[in-house]
Structure 1
Amino acid sequence: MSWKKILDQLEEGSVRAAYPDGESWVANVKVKEAILDAFKAGENVGYGGIYEGFVDKDNLPPRLMLPEDGVRLVPGGSAIRRGAFVAKGVILMPPAYVNIGAYVDEGTMVDSHALVGSCAQIGKNVHLSAGVQIGGVLEPVGLSPVVIEDDCFIGAGSVIVEGILVKKGAVIAPGVTLSKSVPVYDCVQEKMLGKGAPIPERSVVVPGTRPISSDWGKSQGLSVSCPIIIKYRDEGSDASLELEEALR
């Protein structure tokens, strides 16, 4: 199948760059290969019209949204790239960017200065707060992208990269960084999750620190940042995170 057809299917939402497989997600290698083929096939050109002054691949222009698409794309510098799917009921506040291969499901809010990276998968009713960075993964093609499942809240300035999976209903507090090189500590279950392990359903993750174990590090009182699961969601936390329907 041609890369053009696959990009069309990505925009329709009929294919995705990753799909759930039991408790984990698996990269759709054919889709990612098609995206890379599209980059190879494209030539840098200067755009015209409302995109005058911008230069990019001629075959990957920003998508133009229409009222019947049901997406609220607020003016002010946001863009949805060719090959990205954005469902009805999604709101993008400026400036925000949704890159090629990404999937943003119904009712999700993408706030100002937020990035949804290439092939990232964002579920229903997710809130990506201001300044959130959701990393993209195109290469290697077999690596699953970042996945944020349904009903998650991602706090301002958080960074989630390297194919991390955030399970349904999880809350990531402002300023948390999640990557495969940093372990997550669960203070409720009193255990350390493996590096790159999925963030559990309905967990509340806050930024924390842990001491450096070397003798010199101890002598200097040094510590490094790490994410900490401080609690799991209850009725109180659900109420504080309830999405305001009037905004939609």
Structure 2
Amino acid sequence: MTVKSEITTLWEQYQDGLTAAEATDEHLATLEAFLESLEAGEIRAAEKTGDDVTTWEANAWVKQGILLNFGLRETHPRVYGDVTYHDVLPLRDTADLADRGTRNTPDGTTIRRGAYLGSDCIMMSPAFVNIGAYIDDGTLVDSCDTVGSCAQLGTNVKLGANTLIGGVLEPVENAPVIIEDGVSLGAGCRVTSGFRVGENSIVGENTLLTPRIPVYDLVTEEIIYGHLPENRRAFTRYVESSVSDHEFFPGGAYKPAVVATDVEDETLEATQREEALRE
């Protein structure tokens, strides 16, 4: 049997009422093999599909396997440095990273089991990478960054300090946050709820990217929700809200939006600041 078929069978048993107290050594061995496959990059929570390279689809069975690791394991006390914590999973063994030129700095870099890290990555302290995350070659995860469960980061991605890449574990059929190849996110950015950032885009500091906030794409002159196209510079601006005429807002009410220009456009002050951040 394959890892996929074993997880699918185990998920059906879990849906029928199998509990952590009833999980056998064989069940746990299946979960271990699943985590090892995630950490080796042999399976992942989402992948590009079809002829359209911008289309990503979740691998629902992989998300089910992650949920099984929470549902069919007991919580145990574990030790991390001088700290005892309680979780269903230990942290990831990082002994394999050095062979691939990937480095994780001490004093707070936390990588949970089931996370994949490619070659020549840099993990700065303190940073946290959750189960199911996929971090491809040459990517920098800076200090105080969080990479959520199942998030997919491409090659040569740069996350500025204090950046949050949200996790999307449930529902299992929903694609997680996608950060494609060559993307640079400025310090303090937030990307949540399955938002996709297209290749080679540069996002200014403290920008919030979520499907509920519109992207005003000045290249195509359209309003987009849920993704930032490739080769864009993006930054936060505020646009007039529909409640601007309310008596509570005599000066007018505004809501956040994201403005996107061509990545080669260096005429705006915000993009000039972003260029300095990248140097």
TM-score scaled by length of structure 1: 0.90
Matched with 1:18 is 46
Distance 1:220 1:242 in 2: 34
Distance 2:211 2:251 in 1: 27
Flag the structure with larger Rg.
Answer: 2
Matched with 2:12 is none
Matched with 2:31 is 3
Give the alignment partner of residue 211 of structure 1, picking from 235, 240, 253.
240
Q: CA deviation at 1:49?
A: 6.3
- Cα deviation 1:189-229 (Å, max 9, x = unaligned): 32211x22x21111000010011123217743111111111
Matched with 1:39 is 70
Distance 1:53 1:208 in 2: 44
Do the aligned partners of residues 148 and 51 (structure 1) sit closer, same or farther apart at CA in structure 2, a change above 3 Å counting? farther
Q: What letter is aligned with 2:246?
A: W
Matched with 1:182 is 213
Distance 1:241 1:11 in 2: 35
Q: CA deviation at 1:6?
A: 1.8
Is the contact between residue 108 and residue 127 of structure 2 (CA under 8 Å) also seen in structure 1? yes
Matched with 1:156 is 187
Distance 1:38 1:142 in 2: 18
Q: CA deviation at 1:130?
A: 0.2
Identity %: 37
Matched with 1:234 is 264
Distance 2:174 2:82 in 1: 33
Q: CA deviation at 1:141?
A: 0.4
Q: What letter is aligned with 1:131?
A: N
- Cα deviation 1:122-176 (Å, max 9, x = unaligned): 0000001101100001100001000000000011100000001111101111011
Task: Specify every segment of 5 or more residues in structure 1 that has no aligned partner in the other structure, as ranges.
Answer: none
Do the aligned partners of residues 242 and 211 (structure 1) sit closer, same or farther apart at CA in structure 2, a change above 3 Å counting? closer
Q: Higher mean Cα deviation, 183-192 or 138-147?
A: 183-192
Q: CA deviation at 1:15?
A: 0.7
Q: What letter is aligned with 2:217?
A: D
Is the contact between residue 186 and residue 277 of structure 2 (CA under 8 Å) also seen in structure 1? no
Q: CA deviation at 1:118?
A: 0.1
Give the count of matched residue pairs.
Answer: 239
Write out aligned runs for 1:64-83 (5 A).
64-66=93-95, 67-83=98-114
Q: What letter is aligned with 1:16?
A: R
Is the contact between residue 46 and residue 52 of structure 1 (CA under 8 Å) also seen in structure 2? no
Distance 2:62 2:246 in 1: 48
The list of structure 1 runs, each at least 4 consecutive aligned residues, that deviate by more than 4 angstroms after superposition, is 239-244
SS of 1:6 mapped into structure 2? helix
SS of 1:48 mapped into structure 2? strand
Q: CA deviation at 1:78?
A: 0.8
Give the alignment partner of residue 109 of structure 1, picking from 116, 134, 140.
140
Q: CA deviation at 1:69?
A: 4.2
Distance 1:224 1:100 in 2: 34
